[in-house]
Amino acid sequence: MMRLSTLAALMLLVACDEHLSATAKAGSEPQAQRVPCGSNATLVVALRERSTSGRFRVRSINPSSVFAVEGPNEGTTEPGAAAQIVIRAKPSSLYLPGRPVFGVLDIEVDGVEERYEVSFVPRGVYLTASDDVVDYGIAELGALRQRNLVLTNYGDEDARVSFHGGGAPFRFARDLVVPGGESRTVAMAFEPRSAAAFEQRVQLTAEGPVCALQEELTLRGAAFGKGIGIDQSVVEFAETDCHESAGRRIVSVTSLLERPIAWSARLGRGVSSPFRITPPAAGVAHPEQAGRIELEALPPGDTNDPTDELIIDTADGERRVRLVQRVRAPLLSIVNAGLDFSANSSRRRSSIQSGDRGESWNGCRDGRLHSGRPPRREGDRAASGQSRLGCLLHPDRRWAP
């Protein structure tokens, strides 16, 4: 857990009432007083009045890690006047708002020892952060990673927290308020646009009613990958009949770098692809403005594999997008479409089955069902086992020669 800097901690922990002083009487119950802000925060201890003049000397003050004598540690007392000793409260990250800090001042007046008890109550904000280094590890270009930074205010006053410095590829809220005794979570995002290692230092400032403190955060991350970003890795077209187009789809292309990137698109299967790229098939991708690649699914025809890959080429490599279209099962197929009338045939067969892919089914061609061979022309010799039913079924269910 990160703890706020030692010097700044006192600035926010102590109440900011300037010119407040405390008088501690020997042997009396110590009275907790507010302490001014900053490294010059002081308590003024008034010694008891005396009827005669005398000299005093500070022997010790404890704990010395908290208190120190400000200025001369000896002086004189005058009749009817209270001599004063100025005590400075040292900065410390151990102070907690609302919890008094006590000290003991031992002095000697004309050879007689006297003891004074002093104390103050830290007030303000006491802010801690869950991490002083936010590490995102290694991310892919264009991928968004997020870490949560938890800020907790152990003080009794609201802290206005702001972040200064830092920028892309890091994003986070710049201002928020953390009430006393509560916590707030800050989402720290990392979205790299270039393949590199990143490290930034951010100043965290927390302000109470008057005082302010600062602490430093370190943001760290790295990125790898291509400079081009695409909005999808698989493009699926609507289900279609073999004679119908499955429509169009759009693939968006964005530069993941801080500069434009030229790209060109092609299909993996070339001219045999069941898809088509609508011109233009090249362009320039910008960081803040996506380019468009428009794809059209052609009628599948007699292909048995209505899939392909869209390949996007750039200077630093390529990105691939899988293209898929689905073809509904045919309404009619012909199984062993033939009439065998030979003398040795043990049976006669002619089978037409609806909704079943038969042995001779070979997909679609020009929107028509066929038996696996092109239609016969008049005058062709009849082949053994091949029916003269070379008729093709149109989508409108009419027979055609």
Biggest CA pair distance of the chain:
152
What is the sign, positive or negative, of the torsion defined by CA atoms of 356, 362, 368, 373?
A: negative
Q: What's the pLDDT at 321? A: 92
Tens digits of residue pLDDT in 140-195: 777 789 999 999 887 777 888 999 988 889 999 989 999 988 999 999 999 887 77
Tens digits of residue pLDDT in 37-67: 334 466 777 777 777 777 888 888 888 878 8
Q: Which two tokens stand for residue 114?
A: 């006297």
Tens digits of residue pLDDT in 162-175: 999 888 899 999 89
CA distances from 82 to 1, 32, 73, 85, 141 (A): 47, 20, 15, 10, 72
Select from 374, 353, 355, 371 the least CA-distant residue to 363. Answer: 371
Q: Which two tokens stand for residue 285?
A: 């991708």
3-class DSSP assignment, residue 271 = helix
Q: Report the distance separating Cα 60 and Cα 44, nearest Å.
A: 16
Q: What is the CATH number of domain 7-120?
A: 2.60.40
User: Residue 272 carries which DSSP code?
Assistant: G
Q: What's the pLDDT at 327? A: 74
Confidence band for 16, pLDDT divided at 50, 70 and 90: very low
3-class DSSP assignment, residue 270 = helix
Give domain limits for the chain.
7-120, 127-224, 228-324, 332-401
Burial of 127: CB neighbours in 10 Å, binned 0-12, 13-18, 19+: buried
Give yes or no for residue 123 having a pLDDT over 90.
Answer: no
| Average per-residue pLDDT for the chain | 71
In this chain, the answer to whether the domains covering 7-120 and 228-324 adopt an identical fold is yes
Tens digits of residue pLDDT in 354-373: 444 433 333 444 444 444 44
Superfamily of 127-224 according to CATH: Immunoglobulins (2.60.40.10)
> How many other CB atoms are found less than 10 A from the CB of residue 244?
18
* Domain with residues 228-324, CATH architecture: Sandwich (2.60)
36 cis-preceded (ω within 30 degrees of 0):
no
Q: Report the distance separating Cα 201 and Cα 218, nearest Å.
A: 5
Tens digits of residue pLDDT in 382-394: 444 443 333 344 4
Q: Report the distance separating Cα 152 and Cα 1, nearest Å.
A: 10
For residue 93, what are the contacts with CB-CB under 8 A and spacing of at least 6? 3, 4, 5, 6, 9
Select from 185, 186, 188 the least CA-distant residue to 136. Answer: 188
Select from 115, 135, 1, 129 the least CA-distant residue to 59. Answer: 115
Residue appearing with tokens 């090249």: 282
CA distances from 214 to 42, 122, 177, 203 (A): 22, 18, 15, 7
